[in-house]
Amino acid sequence: MSPKNLNIYRFVVRARRSNDPRSASYLQDAHALGIQAIQTLECQDLYFIEGQVDPAGLEHLATQVLSDPITQTVEWGRIVSAPGPQPQAGEGQVIEVALRPGVTDPVAAQVVRAARVLGIQGVAQASTGLRFLVGGELDEAGLHLLARRLLANPTIQRYALGQLEPVFPHPAEASGQVEQLPVRHLDEAGLLALSAERRAALDLAEMQAVQAYFEKEGREPTDVEIETIAQTWSEHCVHKTFRARIHIHSRQPAAGGAVINGLLKTYIRAATQQIDAPWVRSAFVDNAGIIDFDDEYEVSFKVETHNHPSAIEPFGGANTGVGGVIRDVLGVSAKPIAATDVLCFGPQDTPVESLPEGVLHPRRIQSGVVAGVQDYGNKIGIPTVNGAILYDEGYTANPLVFCGCVGLAPKDSHPRTPQPGDHVIVLGGGTGRDGLRGATFSSMTMDAQTGEVSGASVQIGDPITEKGLIEVVLRARDQKLYHAVTDCGAGGLSSAVGEMSSQVGAEIELKRVRLKYPGLAPWEIWLSEAQERMVLAVPSEHLPALQALCDIYDVELTDIGTFTGRGRLVVGYDGRTVLDLENHFLHEGIPQRQLEAIIPAPAVVESIPLPNEQDPAQTLLALLAEPNTASKAAVIRIYDHEVQGGTVVKPLTGAQNDGPSDACVLKPIGTRGRGGIVLSNGINPEYGKRDAYRMALSVVDEAMRNAVAVGADPARVALLDNFCWGDPRRPETLGSLVEAARGCYDAAVYYGAPFISGKDSLNNEYLGSDGQRHAIPPTLLISALGLIEDVRKAVTMDLKEPGNLLYLVGEFLPAAAGASRVPDLAPSSAAIYHALHRSMRYGLVRACHDLSEGGLALAAAEMCIGGRLGLALNCPDLPLFAETNGCLLAEVRPADAPAFEAAFASMANPAYRQIGLVSAEPYLAVPGAGLQVAVEKLAAAWKRTPSHSSREHL
């Protein structure tokens, strides 16, 4: 397996502490996943070195590089056949885990670098792993169960009971192979078979368009061409469903009539055009939406999903999701300044036995996803400042991971036009088989014993390499070294170069692309989704300056071709032309899809019980402790939300830094004025199940009122949409998508809040081995990007001083029983938000919090928790738990009450009412409803502190 004359050395590093926290955490997870027989678990680090290293060098490596003398011990030896350090007697059983070859292993790369720095000769390659000593009554089957359920993910890892044999990537035969794929003679069945065989996901009309093109060209396509077309025409890249012509079947015709010529055009972009805000700088054109920030800067925002990768490899999926959206922002030449994440999981207490075959436990998915977000965001130095976590059984097999990134750039600093003659420059990591055609390929690589280098369908990210890209691209922007830039995302170079050259043309030589390892076929190089790469259009005269920047920041630069003015994309490999396509065909040649939709009637939900108003204290405490509403501090605190020093309103706020903020306010470092950025979101899958149209209205409203609650100017809010739906080829599913898009249009136009970017992730369904389809609830995430004129006027949600008045602001319009129970938009909401904002600018509002899930009672309870102050409410006519749109609670000093009320004077309907008083008595009290609960009990329930159990605190 290993080349001749090279040894393999094995190092085992153990913690000296007997109660090491990492081991304890694995043990806790094992118990939570139902493996009770395990009594002890010790986690150790494994390193493997391939090479010829003398004993002094090995010792040096072991003690100086691989272990910490204070906290760890290290043993090492050469692997002869099987030995090496073996568990000592009585230690129990061993499971060893390592990454599959071809999976990014940044630590291994650093081991090789460190050996070089230390002058240790003969280290050729390294790899890493983990070693688990398991104590307890586990038989062999039990150990396999533990390994599969918790310790190793077959997508990226392999494991062995006992000692694992290390595998290093070794060169396979270089291929250079290009296949012809004849299409001209194929009939309909043949075309579809070819699409299926290449996993192209092209339908008949699309395959016929391909066939017609090559008939016109008078030749057959290559595999590189078919793969490129499939990628360029994929749902991910061109949003076929959102551009499709949809034939509506419904008793009540939808707003667009019986035929909708593209959801994007008809609803989403139409709203932006209708609003026509002068401060929108770029909507739906660039990698991210862009609005004005101040006279000097513009701010960009993009939100992506990474659902399927996160389902099969939670850490890597979320990790690369964050990395990808950061590159989107870098792709508009902006400095990434904030990250957001909204996560949807199955219930954490799902019984292991009830999981569909092949589905990871929601607890494992959550911990992996959260760790993946943490790893990338923290390491790259971008604060994670806004988000949400939702639980629903519909997400058990299909978790949703929305990753957002905000960027800041000087105005007009983003160049967009490659010039003929510019070099096509790739910056960043090497190209491997990463992400190629997903599962097919990764399943071929499962047999690690072959030592073959293979790409996993999901990769681990490398945030430090991407940090280098940020350093270089921003400096290159300031020095005006490039004419265009874009990121390598889905489709890799084919997509990045294809998009950049769509107005000009390009000629590429694939042989020049820097590979992680040899042996890739041309189509694999061209399509690889290797992470952490950017493509730039650079004129010859600026190449030396760009190279100098790359040298400082340890970033690799590769020149792979030139932009031309010929209107064709031409790709060569070693002198042979392997792709030669007309730009017009590639980018405009896709036929519009024709789809059928049936508009579903809103569900009538009698079955969902209303909250119990008879025992409001019990109901409130139970609601506070419910996973969807309970504190998310445990997750928020493992994200760095302070790096870059601009977090003015933090995710957790109040007297004890633990109240839930409605939104985040940022004052970006380096900006001169007092202005700030506001980030919020709205999402409600529960509503999505019942009434897609009103759900869309509601989540736009939620994002707006969260932004307004912290002080955003409602006249300066831009929106992003992310639709996650099931299979749109099912007319009912598409019908609800149509309704949600229609709701987006109505709500955006109503609030004057334009959409500037969006994304859809469809087909979120899982076919279980039981033959059952597991579809997600229709889920729409609205992310809001708002501005605040002066961050010193920002408002937090925690109650501030006893004696202040509490107002309910907005029209209280809970949905009627017997309907879908999804509330409507109140006609006065927009005017009320503007009035509330005016009063904030005058400093009249001491605290503000929105009413959402759990209604008035939950909002009031959270304000009490935030301020550790009491509240006496006097509003016997209001249902405590009913949900409504358009409402907020505002705390106002008595002296400011007249001015505050005057701000609403022009409203037709009464837009506010005083409903309570802030009190030094630490109780939330609603005498009329028989509710009185100590604030500390509310806090304990909400924070789910161990002392809490719902009854004993009453």
Is 837 noted as a catalytic residue in this protein? no
Contact pick of 193, 196, 258, 464 for other proteins (by CB under 8 A): 464
Asked whether the beta carbons of 675 and 788 are under 8 A apart, the reply is: yes
For residues 799 and 920, what is the distance between their CA atoms, to the nearest angstrom? Answer: 11
Q: How many residues at the interface with other proteins, by CB under 8 A?
A: 64
Nearer to other proteins, 62 or 270 (CB): 62
- Phi-psi map region of 284: left, alpha, beta (phi>0 left; psi -120 to 50 alpha): left
Q: Looking at beta carbons only, is 484 or 710 nearer to other proteins?
A: 710
Catalytic, out of 31, 236, 247, 948: 236
Closest CA to 230 of 262, 205, 207: 207
Task: Determine whether 236 is an active site residue.
Answer: yes
Q: Which of residues 617-636 bind other proteins (CB under 8 A)?
A: none
Gap between the Cα atoms of 494 and 702, Å rounded? 39
Asked if residue 796 binds other proteins (CB under 8 A), the reply is yes
Beta-sheet pairing, 423-428 with 557-563: antiparallel
Q: Write out the binding residues for other proteins, residues 65-124 only, by CB under 8 A.
A: 65-66, 68-71, 106-107, 110-111, 113-114, 117-119
Is residue 647 near other proteins by the rule CB under 8 A? yes
The residue within the footprint of other proteins, chosen from 184, 637, 773, 913 (CB under 8 A), is 637
- Binding status of residue 44 toward other proteins by CB under 8 A: no
Q: Please state, in angstroms and rounded to a whole number, the distance separating the CA atoms of residues 327 and 300.
A: 12
CA 454 to chain centre: 26
| Least distance between other proteins and beta carbon 822 (Å) | 33
* Contact string (CB under 8 A) for other proteins, positions 194-233, x = contact: ----------------------------------------
Q: Given the complex with other proteins, which of 564 and 644 has the nearer CB atom?
A: 644
Q: Report the DSSP pairing between strands 652-653 and 647-649.
A: unpaired
Q: Which is nearer to other proteins, 464 or 817 (CB)?
A: 464
Q: Which of 640, 691, 701, 702 binds other proteins (CB under 8 A)?
A: 640
Q: Tell me whether residue 183 or residue 382 sits nearer to other proteins (CB atom).
A: 382
Q: Residue 673, interface with other proteins (CB under 8 A)?
A: no
Which position has the token pair 């967009």? 416
Under the binding rule (CB under 8 A), the answer on residue 24 touching other proteins is: yes
- Cα–Cα distance, 122 to 6 (Å, whole number): 9
Long-range contacts of the stretch 193-202 (C-beta < 8 A, 24+): 194/226, 195/230, 198/223, 198/226, 198/227, 198/230, 199/230, 199/437, 199/438, 199/440, 200/226, 200/227, 200/229, 200/230, 201/230, 201/234, 201/235, 202/229, 202/230, 202/233
Closest CB 450 distance from other proteins, rounded Å: 28
Contact call for residue 538 and other proteins (CB under 8 A): no
Beta carbon nearer to other proteins, 118 or 749: 118
Is residue 791 close enough to count as binding other proteins by CB under 8 A? yes
- The distance between the two most distant Cα atoms of the chain, rounded to a whole number of Å, is 88
Q: How far is the CB of 381 from other proteins (least distance, A)?
A: 3
**Strand intervals (E) in 171-327:** 245-249, 259-261, 280-282, 289-292, 297-305
Contact between 12 and other proteins per CB under 8 A: no
The active-site residue, picked from 306, 587, 641, 774, is 306
Token couple for 640: 């760095």
Measured CA to CA, the distance from residue 760 to residue 300 in angstroms comes to 19
Q: How far apart are CA 528 and CA 161, in angstroms?
A: 33
Gap between the Cα atoms of 382 and 646, Å rounded = 11
Task: Please identify, using beta-carbon distances, which residue of 114 and 178 lies nearer to other proteins.
Answer: 114
Residue list 361-400, contact with other proteins (CB under 8 A):
374, 378-381
Question: How many angstroms separate the CA atoms of 33 and 28, rounded?
Answer: 9
Shortest spacing between CB 491 and other proteins, in angstroms? 27
Work out which of 275, 638, 897, 907 binds other proteins, going by CB under 8 A: 638
Nearer to other proteins, 436 or 557 (CB): 557
Nearer to other proteins, 103 or 210 (CB): 103
Stretch that binds other proteins, among 270-278, 447-455, 531-539, 638-646 (CB under 8 A): 638-646
- Segment contacting other proteins (CB under 8 A): 155-163, 622-630, 664-672, 688-696? 664-672
Cβ(499)–Cβ(151) under 8 Å? no
Q: Is 803 in the site for other proteins (CB under 8 A)?
A: no
The burial of 579, by beta-carbon neighbours within 10 Å (0-12 exposed, 13-18 middle, 19 or more buried), is given as: buried
CB 336 within 8 A of CB 329: yes
Interacting residue ranges for other proteins, rule: CB under 8 A: 17, 20-22, 24-25, 63-66, 68-71, 106-107, 110-111, 113-114, 117-119, 374, 378-381, 462-464, 467-468, 551-554, 637-645, 647-650, 653-655, 657, 667, 669-670, 791-792, 794-796, 798, 800
Catalytically annotated residues:
236, 306
